[in-house]
Amino acid sequence: MKKKLVAALMAGCMAATMFAGCGSSAPKEEAKSEAKSEAAEEEKTEEAAETPAAEGSGKVGIAMPTQSLERWNRDGAYLDEQFKNAGYETILTYSDNKAEQQVNDIQNMIAEGVDVLIVAAIDGEALNTAMNEASEAGIPVISYDRLILNDAVSYYVSFDNYTVGTLQGQFVVDALDLENAGDAVYNIELTTGDPADNNAGYFFNGAYDVIKPYIEKGTLNVVSGQTDFASVATEQWSTDVALERAQNILGSYYADGTQLDVWLCSNDSTALGVAQAIESDYAGKNTVLITGQDGDEANLKNIVDGKQTMTVYKNVSNEAIVTLKLAQALLEGKECDASLIEEFGVECAYDTESYETSAGNKCPSFLLVPSVITKDNLQDLVDTGLYTMGSDGYLSAN
């Protein structure tokens, strides 16, 4: 009966964004939703008597992809902490980058009676079984950081992923002063992330759209010729996979002393592999500009040591706060639109056009704003309260 109450609250909340809701274009799902809402209305009085509403009451399922990457440990910890501090019971799982295991983890959460699901997908196209079961049970789903391509998703919370890429691309443009490069030519290589991660395409496209005019002009030269997404992708964002590919490229195209100026990496785990390859296998003597994303401790150390040039930082603590406030609004039947942003206390945009869970089916999204971190502004991370700087200048995540 608790799930019927949640279905009724979802109906009230989703009405405010019906024009953009992730399930709004599927007639079959609308019929299910209407049936659940009617059933919930019939038992509303009885249900309220049995389970009186209380702020912060309920059970939250949090499904993270893996503990092998530092950032997902941070996301899981922040989410778990935020919800527990707000009075919710939580179930937190990590699925070892195995999509089948994540399906099972989510199914177990459904069986344990969670009231809302927060899912950072391993594979955005592999969770249909679990998502459909959540929809049938009347459980709202917040797609966290990575978009799940299923219309059972209620909302998407992430950073502006295309902007993450554009920040990386623009950093390259500015650092090399490509606007005033004249006849100079700079050699560049590209590495992006997991093809199963919907975000990887946004990161790559954002960066490539910025640097493409300079590649076409000849100011930037991809010596390996590898510029399409499939060629530069990195399975599971693996440091070892990125390392091996970088070593192969350096051995094949730069062993004769050809200078490499830039390696544009979509995130820190791949940047770590590229930096290792450059340190061990690059014949040149120049410092190679390397981009990244996430603010992982090892990469921040590399930035201090001059082995990585920048990282795009995404404050996942703020992402957890937005997710908490959205989940509370969903469960309390509040309007879930731009009006919620005032409650977040962090910079965020409400977007109903950029993301789709299926063709033509727009997913309302809350998108936070990333920032660029270099050696010159590491103090900005310390100022968040999430990092501490040691006497050696290295940062540690709190």
Write out pLDDT tens, residues 62-114. Answer: 999 999 999 999 999 999 999 999 999 999 999 999 999 999 999 999 999 99
Dist CA 144 CA 117 (whole Å): 10
- % of residues, the chain, pLDDT over 70: 86
Residue 183's SS3 state is coil
pLDDT recorded at residue 11? 44
Dist CA 345 CA 359 (whole Å): 33
Please answer whether residues 327 and 9 qualify as being in contact, where contact means their C-beta atoms are separated by less than 8 angstroms. no
When the pLDDT of each residue in the chain is averaged and rounded to a whole number, the result is 89
pLDDT digits (tens, 9 = 90+) for 295-315: 999 999 999 999 999 999 999
Least confident window among 53-62, 150-159, 212-221, 297-306? 53-62
pTM over 0.75, yes/no: yes
Please answer whether residues 304 and 393 qualify as being in contact, where contact means their C-beta atoms are separated by less than 8 angstroms. yes
Q: Name the H helices within the chain.
A: 2-15, 27-42, 44-50, 70-85, 99-111, 128-136, 161-175, 198-217, 229-232, 239-253, 268-281, 297-305, 316-332, 341-344, 379-383
- Smallest Cα–Cα separation from 147: which of 136, 131, 134, 135? 131
The answer, yes or no, to whether residue 346 has pLDDT greater than 50, is yes
Banded pLDDT at 12 (limits 50, 70, 90):
very low
Apex 281 CA angle, 225 and 260, nearest 5:
45
Please answer whether residues 209 and 167 qualify as being in contact, where contact means their C-beta atoms are separated by less than 8 angstroms. no
Banded pLDDT at 54 (limits 50, 70, 90):
very low
Task: For 228, list phi and psi in degrees, rounded to 5.
Answer: -85, 155
Dist CA 267 CA 275 (whole Å): 12
